[in-house]
Structure 1
Amino acid sequence: MNQTAIGARIKQRRKELKLTQEQLADLANLTQAAIAKIERGGATRHITDIAKALGVDTNWLVYGEEAENTPTSGYWPFKIARLHDFESLSAAKRHELDVRLADFIAGAIETKRTA
């Protein structure tokens, strides 16, 4: 594993999403210092968490290869809302939508249990 290349891909994707290191750290449950170290080529055992936060496949982060049958920007389960539109939002708006969606899903699950 080339740690420098992994760090460069993490930084590249973070910048594409217009996220700060601190925002990525929050999404991946890490510290800003940890993200900075990883982006400089430091080893990490948090590849899965970072990949999930960035919406990319772990194979791309580690090897620079896309997984078969996965969209370039990662998994996107929605048919009407477009990933490109979501990615064009500010980090704060994306986070707000993420929180709202999580609340909506939690409410739907609770409704299903009581029905």
Structure 2
Amino acid sequence: MPSREKVFIFILKAGVAFTFVYAAIGGFMEPVAWIGFFPPFLNDYIPSTTLLTIWGAFEIIIAGWLLFGKKIFIPSLIATLSLAGLIFFNWAGARDIIFRDVGIFATTLALTIRSYKRQM
């Protein structure tokens, strides 16, 4: 891969990783502000603090895997699916915030598509 393309891919991965880590830290520090983004049916089965802790750890793992992993198809796909779920479950009530996630979704989808051919 040419050096320029490596830089391009790194910038995409770093941008996604930053947003995932930022959201995880935000959930740990201000849980009340973040718990509302989970579908209500999850809160019926899992306590809010546990849910945020598990999700935050998940986001940090995905961010690290994307940023430092060589084969990124799986973390890119997982990130894409998690963002699709976030957008789907929150679009009606939080469009003024969720619209930003559409751009991150597009980035993870592009990384997924690009890495699919290389790893399959």
TM-score norm. by structure 1 comes to 0.33
TM-score norm. by structure 2 comes to 0.32
